[in-house]
Structure formats: C-alpha cells, structure tokens
Chains A and B, each alone.
Chain A
Amino acid sequence: MLEIRNLAKSFGGVKATNDVTFDFPDGSLTAVIGPNGAGKSTFFNLITGALKPDAGQVLLDGVDLAGRSPPEIVRHGIGRAFQVASIFRSLTVEETMLAAVSADQRTSAVLHKRFPLPETRDRAEHVMELLGLAGKRKRTAATLSHGDQKLLDIALALVLEPKVLLLDEPTAGMGPEERWRMIDKVRELWETQKITVVFIEHDMDIVFKIAPKIVVLCYGRILATGTPDEIRNNSAVIDAYLGTEHAGAAA
C-alpha cells in the first residue's frame, strides 16, 4: 500500500502541495484531477523523488521513501511515466527496453559483456508484446509517432515491474481514437498485472468512465475524493474545475 502522509512542498510563496494525506490501496486504480497548476504533477514529482518534499512521508509498504533519490525510489517499486513522453531519442524501441531491464537487474554498469545480456530479453519482449510495441522494435524512438512515444514511456515504467505505476496525463496530445486505445491499455494492464495505478487526466469522459476512485487536487490540497458520481455532483469541484458542461452530465 502506498500511503501519503502530510506531504508538503512550496516554491517560493506557492504551496504547490499543501499537507496532502491519502492512501492508495494495493491493486487500486485512482484518477487525480484538478485545475491547471493545482499541483498534480508536483504530487507525482514528490512521490518519485524528482522533488524533495519540505515535509511529510511517502510510505510504500511501511517504508518511508520521502526525500530519497529517484533511482532509490524506483528500486523500491514506484515507476512513472511523464506528461510529455520522456524517452531516449537515439535508441531503438528494443534497445530502450533491454537497457531498462538491464538497469533493473543492476547490470547497467557491466563492462566486460556485450549488450544486450541474454537474461534481459524475456522481460523486454514481454512488455513490448503487452503494449503492442513489438512490431516497432527496430524503430529509433525519435521516429515514433506521438502516441507510440507515450506508449514507450509507459513501457519503460512497466518493464521495471513496479508495484505502483504513476501516469501523468497518459493521453495528453492524443486524438480521440488513440486516447481510448491508450486508456483501454492502461485499464487492461491494471487488470492483468494487479498493480496499483494512479493517473492524472483532464479528459473527463475518460476519468468518469474508468476510474473507480477520483482525487481532486486544488491549490495543492485535496478538494474532494470519491466515486465518479460523487465527484460529478460535487459543487466545489464543479466550480473549481468541471464547469457546467460536465457537471452531472452522465448522471
């Protein structure tokens, strides 16, 4: 279980994360929404070590990870994908996956053997298969389409076999079709891999359709939590975030 306790971070005067406490049970799927600048990405950055929290705890199965470096946190089992696909432009899809597995198996500093090590193959293969990247294995990452780059980014997080997967706007910049394909994939992963998934999303159709639980952040604080129906009808959320178009629409 991932437990967040009193997490706080401010930039200058801005309290980007303000005393956030929340639990993500094992195997849960949670959406994080909130206005632009509410502190959603910051929240992820604090959990994954990209930023050091000013205060608070990030407990994974009881171990406090707050303030540790990204490599350490990754090794404890929290993987993440980025709002803007963050990949290795000059490596091929296959090389990217193999190198990531190598990193996870602590063989990334091996000097005397040739890349790739045989023991990295299966895992890399498995994840490429899972996300439908196998057919594009020889493509250089930079030449992939926008959507495939996002997929590759998620694949990078997944190939480390994390306990918790954090996805920052996995569908950002995608068309309606790709969007749904991507989110179906995320749900499938969640169902088959039995991992804890937390994702940030601005597309309410998606959020309301697939997330059993939603957290709304606003000005760094938790504004509301609940099921899609609860959130949809929460007047504070409507005022701060949803506006009138989505409010209660699908009820």
Chain B
Amino acid sequence: MSAAVIEVADLDVYYGTSQILFGVGLSVRQGETMALLGRNGAGKSTTMKAIMGLAPPRRGKVSLRGVVISGRKPHAIARAGLGFVPEDRQIFPEHTVEDNLVIGKKRGPDGQDEWPIKRIYEVFPLLEPLRHRIAGRLSGGEQQMLAIARTLMGNPALLLLDEPSEGLAPIIVQRIGELLRQLRSIGSTVLIAEQNMHFCLGLASHATVIDKGQIVYAAGIDDLKANDTIRRRYLAL
C-alpha cells in the first residue's frame, strides 16, 4: 500500500468565536479518490479550506507527504502541491478562458510540469474552442471544467474538489464524472466533497463522513455502500 499523500490530524477550525471543526482527521493515499461526505453545514468545505490555509486551523496539523504545511499561507500550500477547486468555482469572470489557465500555471512541487496547456486541451477538448471566450460568459458546466483545468495547470500532487456537480445540468454532471474517472485512471489523487450521492458513489474509492464538524466514519467505498446505518444516519439516503 502506498504512503499517504495527505495526512490531516486533529483540526480545530473557528469562524470568529464559533468552532466549526472539532479534531478532524483524515488521510488520502496516492491514486485514491476520497469522498468527503456529510450533510449541509457539516463542515466539508471548511475542512477543505482549512487544508488550503484559507480558513487557518487553530489546532491540528496537515502534512503533505510527511511535510507539515498547516500554518503556511494559502499560496505556499498551493506551491507545496495542493490544488483546490472551490464549491462556487470562482473563475475569473473578466479574463478569457486561456488567461484563467495561464493564471493557474505553476510548476509542481518537484518542479515537474505534467500539465502543459496542450495536454489540458487534450483532456478537456470542450475548452479548446472556447479559449478566447470571456470566462464569465461560459455556462455553468463549462465554468466548472475550466475551474478544474485551471487547478490542474498548477500540477498539484493532490486535487481538492468541492461539490463539482452543484447547480449543473444532468448531462454536464455526467460529463464531469467521466472526466474524474479519467483522472483517476491516470493516477491522480483526489479529495472530493459532494452532496450528490449518485455521482459520488460511482466515482470514489474511499469515503469519509463528517457530521457537525467531526469525522464519524471512514472506509472503502464498498463498505459504505453496504453500511445502511451510516448512510441513513448521516447522509439521509
């Protein structure tokens, strides 16, 4: 079994005076697609933001391949090899598609460049004809692809995806699902937060369930599919 790419231990996160995460811990190994599941407001996005340094944890530790990265600034964390696609996509609406990609360009933590723009267009053939379009005018699904592509441009060792299916037409959700399966097949490591179970269960290899800011369950995806109690209790399925 390969070593953990990312190891999260004992995270406490606050917004102002209110505590959101209580000792959250999880780990994702090379080549895994880990689903982070939980109800609305359970703390999925907060966990991702905490890992990225966008919501700095008050306690706890995040290490990437054994190197502690918590406490650094978001840009330093990104440079260490994390790529984040936020729940609301946050593309740069006034830039063109290609400019969005260019802004995301950076070498990987070991100086590698596995994602030249040509390869991006190979993996996202839909984006190529749109390269000179103003990103704000793209449809939601196209924006979602752009957001993922932009993050890949930074050659991340680990991809954090926050609700990639939200608000998208079913056909687009399907397409993004195909894309993620493709990424998995080329060995990318992914941590994905989702509400859409159909979508997620067909995609992930492992699952972690979070509820009220605490991890309540972690196992392989088939385990979860078999475990009715957890699914009913925390995922309302």
Contacts and interface: CB of A to CB of B under 8 A. Distances in A.
B172 A176 contact: no
Contact of B40 (A14, A147, A245, A246): A147
A174 B175 CA distance: 22
B41 A146 contact: yes
A35 B171 contact: yes
A175 B169 contact: no
Contacts of A241: 169-171
A192 interface: no
A194 to B, nearest CB: 30
B174 A172 contact: no
Given A175-B236, A178-B40, A246 B170 contact: yes
Nearest to A177: B236
Given A14-B137, A174-B195, A175-B236, A145 B170 contact: no
Contacts of B170: 202, 204, 241-243, 245-246
A240 B167 contact: no
B219 interface: no
Contacts of A245: 170, 174, 198
A176 B166 CA distance: 12
B237 interface: yes
Contacts, number: 65
A173 interface: yes
B63 to A, nearest CB: 30
B174 A202 contact: no
B169 A176 contact: no
Nearest to A237: B171
Given A36-B139, A37-B140, A177 B39 contact: yes
B166 A173 contact: yes
A175 B168 contact: no
A36 B168 contact: yes
Interface string B224-237: 00000000000111
Interface in B157-177: 166-175
24 contacts: A14-B137, A35-B139, A35-B169, A36-B141, A36-B142, A36-B167, A37-B139, A37-B140, A146-B41, A175-B39, A175-B195, A176-B237, A177-B236, A178-B39, A178-B40, A202-B168, A241-B169, A242-B170, A243-B173, A243-B175, A244-B174, A245-B170, A245-B174, A245-B198
Given A14-B137, A173-B40, A242-B171, 16 more contacts: A35-B171, A36-B169, A36-B172, A147-B40, A173-B166, A174-B40, A176-B236, A176-B237, A178-B39, A202-B169, A204-B170, A241-B170, A241-B171, A242-B170, A244-B174, A245-B170
